[in-house]
Every structure is written in C-alpha cells, then in structure tokens.
Chain A
C-alpha cells in the first residue's frame, strides 16, 4: 500500500480500526479532536460503534464494559481527560481487561495549555490511578510509529489481558507525515480475536451450562484473596518486563562521549542535534525507550561506553523519565537533565548548545 500523508491523530484512528477495534468511546478534547472525529466518520462505515460519551469517566467505563465482553475497544483523550479516566483504568487493570487508551499529551498541570508536552510520564508509568497496578506504555516518535503502535497495543492487551496506553503528544497528534498502513483485519479475523476471551468474558451461555458464571470484577473483600490477586498481577507484570522491552539505539558506539536518553517527540529533536554534532566530530549516542513501561533499564546501562562522561536526559517536562535513567545508570556516571515545559518544544539548536557545553567544560 502506498504511503499517504496524514495527521497522527487520524493515522492512529485508522490503524486502530484496521487492527479490529470496533468499539470506540471518547469525549472531545484538544489536541486529540481529529481522532474522535475520524472515528465518528469511519466507525459507522465498518459496522463499528462510535459513541461520544457524556464524560471522560463514562467513556473509560464504557470501555470497561466492552472490554469485559472480550472485544477490541479503545478510548482516547488528552492529559486533563486522561486524569479523569484514571479511576476506570485502575478498575480495568484490577479486573484484567484488555483495552487501549491513547493520551495525546498537552501542557499541564490543571487545564494547562493545548501544546505538546510530556508531563504525563509519571502518571502513565508510575500509577495515576489508585492501587498496585501497571500499564504497558508505548511512546511513539513519528506518525508512522504512532499508527503501528495501534495494532501492537491491541495485541499486547489481548496477550496479557491488561490495559495498554499509547503515550503520544500534541505534536505527534497534529503533525502530518507519510504513513503506510498494514492490511485491515477481516471480519472473520476480528470474530476469532473475540473468541479467544470466551473462557472468562461476558458472553451468552450458549450451551446452557449451569456453571456458566463469569465475573468482571476488581473487588476481593478477603484480604488474603486480594493479596493473591495483586501478587498474580505482579507475576504477570514480571513476564511483561522480561518480554516486552523495546528501545532504539541511535549512534550508540564505544566512542560515545555523551549518552543521551530521550523519548517520543523530544527524541527527534535530540537526534537532529546529534547529527549536527557528529558532522563536527563529536560522538554522542541516544537511547530512545519505545516502551516506557516496561522500562529498558539494562539497555540504558549497557549503552554507557567507557568514554561516556555524562548521561544527558532531555524531556518536554521537568524531568520525569530522569528518575528511571538514574535508576538505570546506578551512579556510574553523572546524569544531567534539561527540559522545556509549558507546551514549548525545544529546538535542535538548543539541544546542540546544551551538548556542546559538555565538551567545552572539559577543556
């Protein structure tokens, strides 16, 4: 299929439909409005459900209901709206339901603004909702990757019976880039996907089995039972941590003098700066976590070559992934941070200046 030029919000919506999502529930919010609008236009054409919910809270709970029926379902929003969904996400994680949540991040806290930001990293990767649970969190850095992550997210959600978040931002949602889509799943394939959950999901009791009683539930009033449930969840998360680490190594080699760590939109700017400095003979590597939970701690640590004097973290926040990088580096070398907030995206020149200063100081 030929590449077409598309906004990230529309590309991920199209890719989700192609991945077999036929149930979409959401509430309008900038800068993800093109996503909900695309779904409103396209879902009826594929016999799917588009429902504009009365609130973010209702939307995520509709997802809870649809996911409880074992069907591919998703919701999308932007930062303030995702905060409202956190109650439902906790329930979905507790009840072990597969679904996809897209966060097209904007500036915060509070109502913040509507420009691109990465301020929801803590919320996405460290909790956000109440209780002990984890979200698989995928962080795209291009429109193509944003679109590709739709099918990856649904596959992971089904595989592990767990909610998966795609943590994008207003830049990725709004900008247009060429994108190539995978073939759309057929109705037969979608029906088969639904059947994989019939042993636990809400479904008709077709053979009249008197013991047919599936419960979609996160309530365990007996502390011992709840303890086992949470331990089982974390045993599952350990498998995810072992199997689902994803990152990109960019210009990582034994002669790196600085190792950068950046994710999503921020990583693109850092790559531009690295390229410009490479032309000037400065050797800088980048680790870009693609999945930000589970986090590729070992990969970050392993990328610290013998000549690396500093690990530099760049984010569009005040230093949230920074904590994970420090855990990974284990104090081996100094870790520095620079970021921009307020929905302002740093420029390659700004990053270049920060990196150049590292070399100047040495001399």
Chain B
C-alpha cells in the first residue's frame, strides 16, 4: 500500500480543538505542509494569536510563542530581530489582526518585517461566541450586531489586504479562499509562495484566507461555504495584490 498523504511532521500529534466543519484545520495543514516542503521545520517558529487559533502553539511541531491579543506581529518582530537565522510567521484571525491588533499589523507590514502573516478571515469573533468583527459584512447578524451590522453606525468591513497594499514595503500580499477544494489548491500555492519568500529573506509576506464559522453563523459546514461564496467573496475579492517577485506592484 502506498501512502500518498500523511500528517505533516511540522504538526504535532495534538488533536485540533476546532469545531466540526471549521477550516482552521485546513489552514494549519497548508502552512505546515509548506514549511515542511521547503525543509524549514527545524528553523521555523510561529506566533499564535488570541481567538479560536489561540492554541496554535500546541499544534505546530516547532518552537512557538503565544501572543497577547493583536500583538503577534510585534512579538514576531522581536523574535525575528533576536533570531535572524530563524523563519517567523504569525497566524491570526480577523478580530485579533484587524481590530485590536491594527497598529501592530500595519507597522510590521510598513517596516517590511521579514515575517509571514497568515490571516484567517471569517467575518466574526469565533472564540468568544460570535460577536461582530471588523470584517463582519453589512447587515450581517452577530451577537453584538443582533439587528445586522449597521454601516451608518459602525462603518464598513475593513479590507485588510487592500489596506496593507497601500504600503510600499510589503513584498507579497494575496487573498485566497478556503471555500472549495479547488480554492484550497490555489490557497496552498499562495501559502507556499509566502513561505518561499520567507525562506529567501525577501521581506513581509501576507496571505488572507477567507474562511467560515459554521458554529457562530448557525449554518452547517457546506451551507457556510455556500454563504461565504455568495456573500464574502464579492466583498473580499480573491487575488494577488502585491508580488514583487513576479513584478506585481
């Protein structure tokens, strides 16, 4: 019998703690596989956020730090500056990165910090029970926007990839989707590119992964993906916004 797929060595054997149908497991696997494919497992370190992926430090099988809410890019900066011989990434959700951690991500990107950021956007705070996120869509109901997100009152969702693409320093910025097997294959390419550029010391690399939250959206996993395709992808368009390696400025 031929083994064609197995658990990457860059993931520990600790079982994921995510809800059924959650796509964090897929995102973790993409990151872990890319790290392994580039032979970086023993030189890699990552930073876990606060949010659903708060336990990511248990799941990646190399040295990991857990950061205060939103501070992962600052922590990663300290790590990369202290150990330039290591490769550093952060893994963050939309509440962590686009609300409480806005300053840290913008300035890490603006410094062209030599780290990779994997930003999982599912338009909601999952861990705390489904509150409105900075990426929650207009009129979308959450526990803190029970009548739907009122854009007159609280503004519009933040398109973080586009925001960061206004900066000069970032080397690579791409938004991908995890909503179908075909999308996941494309997402893998983007994650690999970020890790490749990280390995080559090119600069700041950022991949936004559009995801779902079946539990807090109140939809089953497949319906969640359909809902996200219909509602999130028109607002958060997938595509490459910056790739200095390919001449995309």
Contacts and interface: CB of A to CB of B under 8 A. Distances in A.
Interface of A: 23, 25, 49, 51, 53-55, 57-59, 61-69, 71, 73, 87-88, 91, 95, 201-206, 208, 210, 212-219
11 contacts: A49-B82, A64-B67, A65-B80, A66-B79, A68-B78, A73-B82, A91-B67, A203-B86, A215-B58, A216-B66, A219-B66
A25 B66 contact: no
Nearest to A201: B63
Contacts of B64: 202, 213-217
Contact of A218 (B66, B77, B78, B81): B66
A59 B108 CA distance: 12
Contact of A214 (B58, B63, B75, B77): B63
A58 B103 contact: yes
Contacts of A73: 78, 82
B39 to A, nearest CB: 11
Contacts of B61: 210, 213
A71 B82 contact: yes
Size class of the contact patch on chain B: 35 or more
Q: Which of B41, B42, B76, B106 has the most CB of A within 10 A?
A: B42
A218 B106 CA distance: 25
Interface of B: 9, 12, 41-43, 45, 47, 54-55, 57-58, 61-68, 71, 74-83, 85-86, 103-104, 106-107
Contact of A69 (B57, B83, B107): B83
A54 B103 contact: yes
Given A51-B77, A91-B68, 8 more contacts: A54-B106, A61-B104, A62-B75, A67-B78, A69-B79, A210-B61, A216-B65, A217-B66
B43 A204 contact: yes
Q: Which of B57, B80, B83 has the most CB of A within 10 A?
A: B83
Contacts of A202: 45, 63-65, 79, 83, 86
A58 B79 contact: no
B73 to A, nearest CB: 8
A203 B63 contact: yes
A193 B156 CA distance: 50
Contacts of A57: 71, 74, 103-104
A201 to B, nearest CB: 8
Given A55-B103, A68-B75, A202-B45, A61 B82 contact: no
B81 A51 contact: yes
A71 B57 CA distance: 21
Contacts of B80: 65
A51 B78 CA distance: 9
A169 to B, nearest CB: 27
B68 A87 contact: yes
A292 B47 CA distance: 34
Contacts of B43: 204-205
A70 to B, nearest CB: 8
A61 B74 contact: yes
Given A202-B63, A212-B63, A23 B71 contact: no
A204 B79 CA distance: 12
Contacts of B47: 65
A213 B58 CA distance: 9
A357 B129 CA distance: 63
**Which 9 pairs show the lowest CB-CB distances between chains A and B?**
A65-B78, A62-B78, A61-B74, A54-B107, A69-B82, A205-B42, A216-B65, A66-B78, A65-B75
A219 B54 contact: yes
Q: Which of A64, A88, A206, A210 has the most CB of B within 10 A?
A: A64
Given A66-B79, A202-B45, A202-B63, A61 B107 contact: no
B58 A205 contact: no
